[in-house]
Every structure is written in structure tokens, then in C-alpha cells.
């Protein structure tokens, strides 16, 4: 991977940024809608994965964030 500007956010930062609960973040990870990386005991989210999730959400604006298919 040659993306040197790739940034990562902590779970707390993502919860605040997306204004979602920890439970919702867990459901999104389990369903595969929002990819996360476990590094040691912490969970990190790539900025590109967050952008991809928001893009998908925008395309499917009739679906709620916590809904599963």
C-alpha cells in the first residue's frame, strides 16, 4: 500500500465524529459496514474506511445507520 497520507482514528474519535453510540459502532463492525482494525487492545478506523462508509450511507439514505440487511 502506497498511501502515505492514510490516517487512523480511535474508536472514541469515530463515535464523536459520527455521533453514534458504542453499541452502534459494534453493530456496524459486526455487519461489515464499517471496517475496523484491532491493534493490540485498541480499535482503529482508517479515514478511508470512514469515508467509504459515509459514501455508502449517502447512496442508501433510506437505510438507518443501525439497521442490518
pLDDT in tens, 10-24: 999 999 999 999 999
- pLDDT for 27-69, tens place per residue? 999 999 999 999 999 999 999 999 999 999 888 876 565 655 5
In a domain, 28, yes or no: yes
The grid coordinates listed for 31 are 455487519
User: What is the total count of domains within the chain?
Assistant: 1
Domain limits for position 15: 8-59
Q: Is residue 67 part of a domain?
A: no
Q: Measure the CA–CA gap between 35 and 46, rounded to whole angstroms.
A: 8
Q: pTM for this structure?
A: 0.74
Report yes or no on 2 lying in a domain.
no
The answer to whether 14 and 50 are in contact (CB under 8 A) is yes
Residue 48 placed within a domain: yes
Amino acid at each position: 500500500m502506497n498511501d502515505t497520507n492514510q490516517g487512523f482514528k480511535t474508536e472514541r474519535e469515530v463515535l464523536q465524529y459520527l455521533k453514534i453510540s458504542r453499541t452502534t459502532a459494534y453493530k456496524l463492525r459486526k455487519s461489515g459496514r464499517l471496517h475496523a482494525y484491532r491493534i493490540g487492545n485498541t480499535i482503529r478506523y482508517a479515514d478511508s474506511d470512514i469515508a467509504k462508509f459515509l459514501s455508502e450511507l449517502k447512496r442508501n439514505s433510506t437505510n438507518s445507520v443501525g439497521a442490518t440487511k
